[in-house]
Amino acid sequence: VKNAGKNSFGFYSPHMSEARRERLSLENDLQLAIERREFVLHYQPQFSQRSGQMIGMEALLRWQHPRLGLLAPGGFIALAEETGLICRISDWVLQEGCRQLALWHADGHRHLRLALNLSARDFERKDLLERVVAAPARHGIGCDRLEIEITESLLLDDAEDVIATVRQLRQHGVRVAIDDFGMRYSSLNYLRRFPVSSIKIDQSFVRDLGRDQGAASIIHAIVGIAEGFGLHLIAEGVESEEQARRLADLGCEDMQGYYFGRPLPADEVLEWATP
């Protein structure tokens, strides 16, 4: 086995071939998951500290796998991206999320926004704009109630197409947020080229708040960036009252995290939060 080249391990190791079989079977299951109605969205509320109001929900995908149980996205999103299945999944997320948001709106929660996550692969589609814009329209929701979360890495590719798509989404009123902001890249230059509307402070900074001064300094800097660029700012991964207070002191008013509420199925998430 040793030194026999890159692929040989997979042929000879029972462990690797087991892993490969697992992957293949998961890929097959993933192909069928949409028609079998195995995906579910959980929703996590986003709060405004200042008003005490719930301002929106982030839709987080779950897969009710027939054998493996409820899977978090960490267990299958990468595979969905590699196989390209993610685009069909994203279509489903858009439809299902907007359908649910329409129900909440009809229930009197008219101010609620829906945030959902798209992958870089979604931006390779020529028809992404049409698909995103059509989803809220189909359910009688304004485009301005929808927020697309994308990661910094997509923006760093600096592809003209991606810039154009983000700009067109914004022109239709769709909000675009940079997820996990501050995590990977030291260059902020892309902010000048991308007309995004929000940034989401990565949860690692929130976690380290109170533990090291560096995290507070970075959040302080991000607050300044958001102000300078006129961007909405929200922090995620807020787990304690102390973190919420420190964030507010630093000037970050909007928050999401276990302290305010865990991601839950639609019928449970609004139970404790009345309009």
Q: Which residues bind ligand C2E (CB under 6 A)?
A: 44, 60-61, 72-74, 77, 86, 93, 116-119, 149, 179-180, 203, 236-239, 257-258, 263
What whole-number distance in Å separates Cα of residue 106 and Cα of residue 113? 13
The terminus-to-terminus CA distance of the chain in angstroms comes to: 63
> Nearest approach, Cβ of 11 to ligand C2E (angstroms)?
32
> What residue type is assigned to position 182 of the chain?
G
Q: Which is nearer to ligand C2E, 16 or 264 (CB)?
A: 264
Residues 6+ apart with CB under 8 A from 65: 29, 33, 38, 71
* Contact partner, 263, from Ca ion, ligand C2E, none, Cβ < 5-8 Å per class: ligand C2E
- Cβ–Cβ under 8 Å, residues 90 and 119: yes
- Kindly state whether residue 122 participates in binding Ca ion, applying the rule CB under 5 A: no
Torsional class of 37: left (φ above 0), alpha (ψ -120 to 50), beta (otherwise): left
Q: Which is nearer to ligand C2E, 201 or 216 (CB)?
A: 201
Binding mask 175-214 for Ca ion (x = CB under 5 A): ----xx----------------------------------
- Cβ–Cβ under 8 Å, residues 121 and 81: yes
> Nearest approach, Cβ of 116 to ligand C2E (angstroms)?
6
- Kindly state whether residue 147 participates in binding Ca ion, applying the rule CB under 5 A: no
What whole-number distance in Å separates Cα of residue 70 and Cα of residue 59? 16
> Nearest approach, Cβ of 209 to ligand C2E (angstroms)?
12
* Contact partner, 164, from ligand C2E, Ca ion, none, Cβ < 5-8 Å per class: none
- 265 forms bridges with which residues in the sheet? 42
Instruction: Report the candidate in 259, 273, 249 with the shortest Cα–Cα distance to residue 53.
Output: 273
> Nearest approach, Cβ of 53 to ligand C2E (angstroms)?
19
- Kindly state whether residue 149 participates in binding Ca ion, applying the rule CB under 5 A: yes
Q: Which is nearer to ligand C2E, 9 or 208 (CB)?
A: 208
Query: For the chain, what is the radius of gyration of the CA atoms?
Result: 20
Q: Count other C-beta atoms under 10 Å from residue 134's C-beta.
A: 16
> Nearest approach, Cβ of 63 to Ca ion (angstroms)?
17
* Contact partner, 165, from ligand C2E, Ca ion, none, Cβ < 5-8 Å per class: none
Residues binding Ca ion (CB under 5 A): 117, 149, 179-180
